[in-house]
Amino acid sequence: MPTPPPARDGRRIRGDASRQAVLTRATDLASVEGLDGLTIGRLAEESGRSKSSVATLFHGKEGLQLATVAAAREIFLATIVEPARAEPRGLRRLVALLRNALVYSRDRVFPGGCFFAATAADVDSKPGPVSDAVRAAHTDWNGYVEVQVRAAITAGELTIDQDEAELLAFELLALYEAANARSLLLGDERPYALAAAAVRGRLLAAGASATVLGALEPR
C-alpha cells in the first residue's frame, strides 16, 4: 500500500488561514489607500488582530507590502488572465483579456478598483523591492497583452504591421485604465461601456472581425 501523505500540522493550517484572512483585508485596504498607508499597525486595527500577530505573519512592513502585492497579483491572474487562456492565442484571447479586465474593475474585485492602478502612484518614483514588485506586475500584464496583439497580427486576425503592435497594446490598455479611473472618480459604470466601444472601434480599425469583437461588451 502506498504510504499516506503526512498530516499537516494544525498550527500551520491555522497560520495559513490567518495569513490569508489578513491578506484579503490588506489587498482591499491598499486598493483604496495605497501601499504607503499599509502598515502593521493599520492592518492590525482593520483586521481586529494584535500588532504582534500581524508582525509575526509578515516580518515587518516591507514583508507585509510584498505579500499584499503578491496576493493581489494572484487574484488579478485568476480573475483576468486564467479565464482568457481558454481562448486561442491572438484576437480571441486579447478580447477576453480586455473584457475580463473591464469586468474586474467594474465589479470591484478590490473596492478601490484595479489594485495595480491604485498602487502605482505610491511606487512610480521610488526604488526598492515593493516598487519592483508592482512594476513587474505592470510590465508582465502590458507585455502579455502585446503578445496577444502580435499573435493576432501573425494569424492575420489584425491587418496592421508588427511594428504597430506595441502602440495598439498601449492604446487598448490606456482605455481600460481611463475607464477604471473615471468610474472611481464619478461613481458611475458608464465609462466601462465607453471603453468597450472605444476598444471595439480601435480593433475594427486594425482589421479585427466584428463577430469576434461581439464578446467584448462587459456582462
- Largest interatomic CA distance in the chain: 63
Listing DSSP states for 130-153 in one string gives HHHHHHHHHHHHHHHHHHHHHHHH
123 within a domain of the structure (yes/no): yes
For the record, the C-alpha cell of 74 comes out as: 494572484
78 within a domain of the structure (yes/no): yes
Domain containing 181 — which CATH number? 1.10.357.10
Look-up of cell digits 510590465: 139
pLDDT tens figures, 191-219: 999 999 999 999 999 999 999 998 887 66
Lowest mean pLDDT among 31-35, 106-110, 143-147, 148-152: 31-35
pLDDT tens figures, 127-173: 899 999 999 999 999 999 999 999 999 999 999 999 999 999 999 99
173 within a domain of the structure (yes/no): yes
In this predicted structure, what is the pLDDT of residue 10? 55
Q: Is the pLDDT of residue 97 over 60?
A: yes
| Distance between CA atoms of residues 40 and 37, nearest Å | 10
Residue with the larger pLDDT of the pair 43 and 111: 111
Q: Is the pLDDT of residue 107 over 80?
A: yes
Q: How many domains does the chain have?
A: 1
Confirm if 134 and 120 have CB atoms less than 8 A apart.
yes
Confirm if 218 and 106 have CB atoms less than 8 A apart.
yes
Domain holding 168, by residue range, is 69-213
Kindly give, in sequence order, each residue whose CB lies less than 8 Å from that of residue 8, ignoring residues fewer than 6 positions away. none
Average pLDDT, the chain: 89
Confirm if 117 and 177 have CB atoms less than 8 A apart.
yes
153 within a domain of the structure (yes/no): yes
Q: In the chain, what is the straight-line distance between the N-terminal and C-terminal CA atoms, in Å?
A: 50
181 within a domain of the structure (yes/no): yes
Average pLDDT over residues 107-133: 90
Q: Is the pLDDT of residue 1 over 50?
A: no
| Distance between CA atoms of residues 45 and 123, nearest Å | 24
How large a percentage of the chain has pLDDT more than 70? 91
Q: Is the pLDDT of residue 62 over 70?
A: yes
| Distance between CA atoms of residues 88 and 15, nearest Å | 39
189 within a domain of the structure (yes/no): yes
In this predicted structure, what is the pLDDT of residue 21? 82
| Distance between CA atoms of residues 214 and 92, nearest Å | 10
52 within a domain of the structure (yes/no): no
For the record, the C-alpha cell of 95 comes out as: 478580447
The count of residues in the chain is: 219
Query: Can you give the pTM of this predicted structure?
Result: 0.87
Residue with the larger pLDDT of the pair 14 and 61: 61
132 within a domain of the structure (yes/no): yes
